[in-house]
Amino acid sequence: MATKILASSSHSFENECKEIHESRGRWNHLIQALVTRTQLECRRIRETYKDMYGEDLITLLQKSSLRNQPGVSPKTCAALSLWMLHPHERDAIVAREALLQDNDTNHQALVEIFVGRKSSHIALIKQAYLSKYKTQLDQDIINIEPPHPYQKILVALSTSHKAHQADVNQHTAKCDARRLYETGEGSPGAIDEGTVLEIFTKRSIPHLKLTFSCYKHIYGHDYTKSITDVNSGEFEDALKKILFASIKGMTADRGAITRVMVSRSETEMDEIQRVFKEKYGIELRETICNSIPSGDYRDFLLALANKTV
């Protein structure tokens, strides 16, 4: 089944949709075929399937996941559903799920969205969120209960129109590093939240990385260490976690592997693999094989890892 789909040269995708329709309930046979398609092709397959059969493929995948059918991994169905969505629609859904988690808001998922997307993409996410859930994303973050220090940083990032431009300036980075020092470990008391939020909302992620590099060069240690050394309050703790997650790429969120690989597979997978090998001394594919049980979910992640930009 999968081989046939891969071999098809038709741009109408009608043959693929027919084969998918005939294999309903056996989604695991189609994982390799669909994941090797580009996300644009997947969206066209979804549209063609809807035109031919009046049903939405993603809805069918989600139903299969809920029914927990034999031979179908709910985790894989969920991951494949995300893969087939338009990027800003996917991020809107991820944001909503992060806000509605049973035990606590998944701040890490929200951080990934706001520090890893361009401002133009953030605007599209907000539009998709409003259209789908009839509520404003920014307002839902503000209304997080119980209140959390992450809110200030997330709201600042989400409302910024400059934070995702690629501008990087050595002189400005050095000035920002000195401002962070003077309003942080270089002064008594807690960190000046206003200064931190201002820099976060007006600088790109590449520029922030340069700022933290300048900070280490000037003061001899990482900015994250300075946050640890000061009298940490809730804001400082939240800031420290966001810096580790967004700048250093560290997270304890197990769901992050699906989100990151699905969202970055067509733009940054080569770079992700290079940095992963450099940082941990092992190939990403090998780590997936060692840490995730064999099955369709692992096959899905390996297929994403094998994609080249």
- Distance separating alpha carbons of residues 155 and 37, to the nearest angstrom: 35
Listed residue (45, 42, 32) closest to 4, CA to CA: 32
**Predicted confidence (pLDDT) per residue in 137-167, tens digit:** 989 988 888 777 778 778 877 776 554 455 6
pLDDT at 7: 41
- Angle at the Cα of 159 from the Cα atoms of 158 and 162, rounded to 5 degrees: 95
Residues of the chain with pLDDT > 90, as a percent, come to 16
pLDDT at 30: 67
Contacts of 276 (CB under 8 A, 6+ apart): 282, 283, 284, 287
- Distance separating alpha carbons of residues 28 and 46, to the nearest angstrom: 17
- Distance separating alpha carbons of residues 47 and 16, to the nearest angstrom: 12
Contacts of 113 (CB under 8 A, 6+ apart): 91, 94, 95, 122, 125
For range 166-173, the mean pLDDT: 83
- Distance separating alpha carbons of residues 115 and 150, to the nearest angstrom: 13
* Full set of structural domains in the chain with CATH: 1-84 (1.10.220), 87-159 (1.10.220.10), 170-248 (1.10.220.10), 255-306 (1.10.220.10)
Listed residue (34, 39, 48, 41) closest to 77, CA to CA: 34
Tell which wins on pLDDT, 120 or 248.
120
Listed residue (145, 118, 152) closest to 239, CA to CA: 152
pLDDT at 241: 64
Residue 235's pLDDT band, with cuts at 50, 70 and 90, is: low
